[in-house]
């Protein structure tokens, strides 16, 4: 059986074993064909069935999460943790609390996390988790009781040398605090390295909050430099207005770019003068209002509840909201308006059809597993600080983050070139580079 046929057989097995998990199928379909040059050069990986083992999680946990709301009513949610691959280190990946969370989404995120974590060069494996709980509109007491119930089940599978969760959508410093408190209570251990994304005062890393957004912008800047450009003076559109988007806006502005549009689930706002980050943070982090409130304070800004934020003309687009948000139609609009580069701040925000549009138009495209690796890289740096009982400054951590993103960018290009592909094929470079690091470790560790 030739390499292409073997890859198709693996994909067919994934679909058969994981029925209805469309996001996981999509992630596998995006990665597997790009591995053909690597597998052709390393038939020993085929003999050891590395790909088949890589696509099957080492462990999948699904559990009930009962809790009591403020009205005294019992609520029941479902929790998940997929421990996908530990060849390079303890499982590492965030927890997502959102009504859309199901096993397929957690698997897609965990599968992507394997490659992303490998690209950082740090000793972390891949995993992901979450629950179909929505913290929006819930009181602090309700969120605390949910987190305590969630951790009461999950704690037995965690540990700083086993599995180290972090935050994701719906899981910020508040939720991490409640989760850590319950872990500490039931284990009787202050094991700081078991969760990352903690507040700086008790074991967190400076710049962790900013890391994913900052890292995405660093990656975009590195891509632009390959064409003798940079962000200074360029117009940028960013989807989302959560943690990743906010700090991507901050870094773009620091580098001289101008973000003219951002969004939330209700629509998008356009501000030709450049998004006022202080105002946006007040609306989203303090007042917790919808993005339309931005126009009340900025009369020159316009809100739209229709269409896509990616229809706004720009030279750089950073999708930072959620999976499959940037469609083929949006990609066509971006190309028509002269976009130069797209870097994924979210996980798999561009559909396969959109990615193909960018490839045909010679638009620089940075896949999420490379472009947004700054978040997990800084989480690993937090683990280092916890293990050594040290505290780094913001400047030290940001410098390490910038260095990691530069290394990831270089690795993607050199790997694509090594397998006789264009250095601009960041998707192939990222997938191949991450795969080789994991495959080498798996081969060395035997059939486990």
Taking only the tens place, the pLDDT of each residue in 169-222 is: 899 889 999 999 999 999 999 999 999 999 998 999 888 889 999 999 999 999
Which residues does 83 contact at the CB level (< 8 Å), separation at least 6? 57, 58, 59, 60, 61, 91, 110, 125, 127, 157, 163
Q: Which two tokens stand for residue 222?
A: 């590195």
pLDDT of 81 above 70 = yes
81 DSSP β-pair partners: 61, 129
Residue 38: pLDDT over 90 = yes
The Cα diameter of the chain in Å comes to: 64
| Known binding residues for substrate | 92, 113, 116, 167, 379
**Per-position b or e across 350-381, b if 16+ CB within 10 A of its CB:** bbeebbebbeeeebbbbbbbbbbbbbbbbbbb
As a whole-number percent, the residues of the chain with pLDDT over 90 amount to 92
Q: Which strands sit side by side in the sheet containing 258-264, from one edge to the other?
A: 302-304, 267-270, 258-264, 235-239, 316-319, 341-343, 364-366
**Confidence grade of residue 131 (pLDDT, cut at 50, 70, 90):** very high
Distance in angstroms (rounded) separating the CA atoms of residues 258 and 274? 6
CA dist 206 and 219 (Å) reads 20
**Per-residue pLDDT, 391:** 84
Question: What structural domains and CATH numbers belong to the chain?
Answer: 1-56+425-447 (1.10.285.10), 59-187 (3.40.50.10860), 210-362 (3.40.50.720)
**Can you tell me the mean pLDDT for 239-245?**
95
Predicted pLDDT of residue 208: 86
Which residues does the annotation place in the binding site for NAD(+)? 212, 243
More confident site: 199 or 132: 132
Contacts of 189 (CB under 8 A, 6+ apart): none
- Tokens 């180290």 correspond to 164
Q: Which pLDDT score, from 0 to 100, does residue 129 have?
A: 98
Which positions are annotated as active-site residues?
128
Does the structure show a pLDDT above 90 at 392?
A: no
pLDDT at 288 over 90: no
Least confident piece of the model among 86-100, 134-148, 198-212, 245-259: 198-212
Q: Specify whether the backbone of 228 is left (phi greater than 0), alpha (psi in -120 to 50) or beta.
A: left
- pLDDT per position as a tens digit, 138-169: 999 999 999 999 999 999 999 999 999 999 98
Q: Are 104 and 428 in contact (CB under 8 A)?
A: no
Question: What is the pLDDT averaged over residues 293-317?
Answer: 96
- Place 1 in a pLDDT band, splitting at 50, 70 and 90: low
* pLDDT bucket at 249, cuts 50 / 70 / 90: very high
Mean pLDDT of the chain, nearest integer: 96
Query: Under 8 Å CB-to-CB from 437, ≥6 apart: which residues?
Result: 88, 118, 119, 121
Length in residues, the chain? 448
Average pLDDT over residues 49-77: 98
* Count of Cβ atoms closer than 10 Å to residue 135 Cβ: 20
């Amino acid at each position: 059986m030739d390499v292409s046929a073997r890859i198709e057989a693996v994909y067919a097995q994934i679909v058969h074993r994981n029925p209805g998990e469309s996001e996981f199928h999509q992630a596998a379909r995006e990665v597997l064909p790009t591995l053909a040059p690597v597998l052709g050069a390393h038939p020993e990986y085929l003999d050891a069935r590395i790909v088949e083992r890589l696509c099957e999680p080492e462990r999948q946990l699904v559990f009930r999460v009962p809790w009591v709301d403020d009205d005294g009513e019992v609520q029941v949610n479902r929790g998940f943790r997929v421990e996908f691959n530990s060849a390079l280190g303890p499982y590492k990946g965030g927890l997502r609390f959102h009504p859309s969370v199901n096993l397929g989404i957690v698997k897609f995120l965990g599968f992507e996390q394997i490659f992303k974590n490998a690209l950082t060069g740090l000793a972390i494996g891949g995993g992901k988790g979450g629950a179909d709980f929505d913290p929006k509109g819930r009181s602090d007491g309700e969120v605390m009781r949910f987190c305590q119930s969630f951790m009461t089940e999950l704690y037995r599978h965690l540990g700083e040398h086993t599995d180290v969760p972090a935050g994701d959508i719906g899981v910020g410093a508040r939720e991490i605090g409640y989760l850590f408190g319950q872990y500490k209570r039931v284990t009787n251990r202050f094991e700081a390295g078991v969760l990352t994304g903690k507040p700086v005062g008790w074991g967190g890393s400076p710049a962790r909050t900013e890391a994913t957004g900052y890292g995405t912008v660093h990656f975009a800047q590195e891509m632009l430099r390959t064409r003798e450009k940079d962000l200074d003076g360029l117009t940028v559109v960013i989807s989302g207005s959560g943690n990743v988007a906010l700090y991507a806006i901050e870094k773009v502005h620091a580098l001289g770019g101008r973000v003219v549009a951002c969004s939330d689930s209700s629509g998008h706002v356009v501000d030709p003068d450049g998004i006022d980050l202080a105002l946006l943070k007040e609306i989203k982090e303090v007042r917790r209002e919808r993005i339309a409130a931005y126009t009340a304070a900025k009369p020159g800004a316009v809100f739209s509840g229709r269409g896509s934020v990616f229809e706004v003309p720009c030279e750089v687009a950073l999708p930072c909201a959620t999976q499959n948000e940037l469609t083929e139609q949006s990609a066509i609009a971006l190309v028509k308006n002269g976009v130069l580069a797209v870097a994924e701040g979210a996980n798999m925000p561009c559909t396969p059809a959109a990615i193909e549009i960018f490839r045909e138009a010679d638009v620089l495209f940075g896949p999420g597993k490379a472009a947004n690796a700054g978040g997990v890289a800084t989480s690993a740096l937090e683990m280092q600080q916890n293990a050594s009982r040290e505290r780094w400054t913001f400047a030290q951590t940001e410098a390490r983050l910038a260095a990691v993103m530069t290394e990831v960018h270089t690795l993607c290009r050199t790997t694509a070139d090594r397998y006789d592909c264009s250095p601009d094929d960041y998707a192939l470079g990222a997938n191949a580079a991450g795969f080789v690091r994991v495959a080498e470790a798996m081969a060395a560790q035997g059939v486990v």
